[in-house]
Amino acid sequence: MFIAASAACGCAPTLGVLIGARLLQGLGAAVTLPTSMALLREAYPDQVERARAISIWAMGGAVASAAGPVRGGFLTLLSRRAIFFINLPVGLVALLLVTRIARSPRREAPLDRTGQIAAVVAMGGLTYGVIEAGADGFGTPRVLIALSLAIVALIVFLTSQARGRHPMVPLDLFRSRGVVVPLLGGFAFTVGFHGLGFLLSLYFQELRGLSSSATGLAFLPMTVVTAFMNLVAARAAERFGARVPTAVGLFLMAVGLMVLCVVPQSPPVWLMAVLLVPVGAGGALDVPALTAVLLDNVPAERAGTASGVLNTFRQSGGALAMAVYGALITTDFLHGMRVGLTISTVLLVVMAAATLTLKRPAEMTTPMKGARP
């Protein structure tokens, strides 16, 4: 679905067709990402080996996210359609590899239509309401309707999950601190990382007058460090367990964002590029580690569900970050950007502290054969 939707995006003759194809892209990605984590949980029952595998898995996503502005900046010099067509060869290779994976165990799980629809309406209403509130204020009728709809849909969702026979998201999943903390950590990470990318892309092009390709180059140092740090994350998780790299990564991101908040009004672009490095390094430490914490705290048969919930928290964080930050910068860009980065910093620090309260799984204290003690 993702490959076909990417082709449709590249060929889209109108904006409406492009938006529809992007919707299908999102559906394909929403199915692919959580199940890829479930495959890792299935393939690597040993926690240390799984932490290594997750680090390699996360490196693909981290490098892709960090390299997006670089790649996109140069591809748009050719055509905006090229940024979608580049997905086709990569996607086809991945599809070929997936066909070689052994069939996974299956169990009947009826579709929770009420929960699914309520979740989509709640998230859509909240995001739309926040975006429109930034433009028109929270007192306008359509904003009030959207936010009210989001609240009602959230109540329906929680009720359906508590009383339904086959809930999409069993609420007992949230009784474990080892599940809740990674979920909120994933939310905070995406608010900080994706929110920063959104803000600085606009900052470099709208306020500093950089071209799309030059904006991409400004993100290049962060991209390089991100690729390297994902490999470091695997060794760190092996030596200290997953919670320490998670906390260090979140705190390092917070420091990087706070430094960006206090730089002068128009610093050199090279300095901004350098200051992005701690954010990328922290994110590269954080993502594989918090994913490992989550999968360590759920049984194998719930790995797909837990991974899906993590993906939802992360995507919700990204959507809300862009909505809220977009609203903050409408009147005064620099002030709004600093307020947004400060919000992200506070979230990251709080979650870094919460991560340190987690207990270290007993299995992680035993080094793998051949590993240094």
Band (66; pLDDT cuts 50, 70, 90): low
Helix (H, G, I), strand (E, B) or coil at 114: helix
User: 264-318 pLDDT, tens per residue?
Assistant: 777 888 888 888 888 888 888 888 778 878 878 888 777 778 888 888 888 788 8
Angle, helix 220-240 to helix 243-262, in steps of 10 degrees: 150
Q: Which residue has the tokens 């035993």?
A: 366
Give the C-alpha separation, 291 to 2, whole Å.
Answer: 23
User: 304-361 pLDDT, tens per residue?
Assistant: 788 888 888 887 888 788 878 887 887 788 888 888 889 999 999 999 898 888 876 5
Q: Which amino acid is at 20?
A: G
Q: What value does the mean pLDDT take over residues 100-110?
A: 77
- For the ranges 66-70, 162-166, 310-314, the lowest mean pLDDT is seen at 66-70
What distance, in Å, lies between the first and last C-alpha atoms of the chain? 45
Q: Going along the chain, which residue ranges are E strands?
A: none
What does the CA dihedral 319, 190, 365, 41 come to, rounded to 10 degrees? 40
The b/e string for 56-66 (b: 16+ C-beta within 10 A; e otherwise) is ebbbebbbebb
Q: Is 143 exposed, middle or buried (0-12, 13-18, 19+ CB in 10 A)?
A: buried
- On whether the CB atoms of residues 281 and 229 are closer than 8 A, the answer is yes
Give the C-alpha separation, 353 to 166, whole Å.
Answer: 35
Transcribe 134-199 into DSSP letters. HHH-TTSHHHHHHHHHHHHHHHHHHHHHHH-SS-SS-GGGGG-HHHHHHHHHHHHHHHHHHHHHHH
What pLDDT, on the 0 to 100 scale, is given for residue 260? 87
Angle, helix 177-202 to helix 47-78, in steps of 10 degrees: 20
C-alpha 22 chain-centroid distance: 17
- On whether the CB atoms of residues 129 and 146 are closer than 8 A, the answer is yes
Give the C-alpha separation, 370 to 108, whole Å.
Answer: 41
Q: Read off the tokens for 342.
A: 């400060």
Q: Read off the tokens for 87.
A: 């997905």
Q: Is residue 34 over pLDDT 50?
A: yes
Name which residue leads in pLDDT, 180 or 327. Answer: 180
What pLDDT, on the 0 to 100 scale, is given for residue 370? 35
Cα angle 146, 148, 153; round to 5:
95
Instruction: Select from 217, 289, 301 the least CA-distant residue to 247.
Output: 289
Q: What value does the mean pLDDT take over residues 17-31?
A: 90
What pLDDT, on the 0 to 100 scale, is given for residue 363? 43
Name which residue leads in pLDDT, 109 or 245. Answer: 245
User: The pTM is what?
Assistant: 0.76
Label residue 174 left, alpha or beta by phi (over 0 means left) and psi (-120 to 50 means alpha). Answer: alpha
Q: What value does the mean pLDDT take over residues 142-148?
A: 90
Band (365; pLDDT cuts 50, 70, 90): very low
Give the C-alpha separation, 274 to 304, whole Å.
Answer: 37
Question: What is the Cβ-side half-sphere exposure of residue 170, based on CA atoms within 13 angstroms?
Answer: 15
Q: Is 299 exposed, middle or buried (0-12, 13-18, 19+ CB in 10 A)?
A: exposed
Q: Is residue 373 over pLDDT 70?
A: no
Band (366; pLDDT cuts 50, 70, 90): very low
